[in-house]
Amino acid sequence: MKTIEFKVHTIQMGDVEDPDLFVAAPIYEWQQTEKGKYIMENSMPAPMWVRHVNHMTYGYEYTIKAYLTPEKLTYYRLKYE
């Protein structure tokens, strides 16, 4: 089955000692939204987050990527964007 990698959410995190620990709460809160529940149910494989250093703010940017079929991606973009 063909899936498309798509960026569905970003979170900006300040310069903290353990950014992976501090980003857990915002990711969980996003997962409880209607948009987050759709992604968690329909992404194959499961969504993943990627951490990048944000040199402009001396912090971090977390990007959540999902893997959706073309049909599910079309539905997502029409409903949630």
Enter the DSSP assignment of 70.
H
Burial class (CB in 10 A: 0-12, 13-18, 19+), 28: exposed
Within the chain, which residues score under 70 in pLDDT? none
Please tell me the predicted confidence (pLDDT) of residue 22.
96
d(CA 43, CA 21): 24
H helices of the chain, in order, are 19-22, 24-31, 34-42, 70-80
Give the predicted TM-score (pTM) of the model: 0.89
d(CA 5, CA 80): 17
d(CA 74, CA 66): 13
Please tell me the predicted confidence (pLDDT) of residue 78.
97
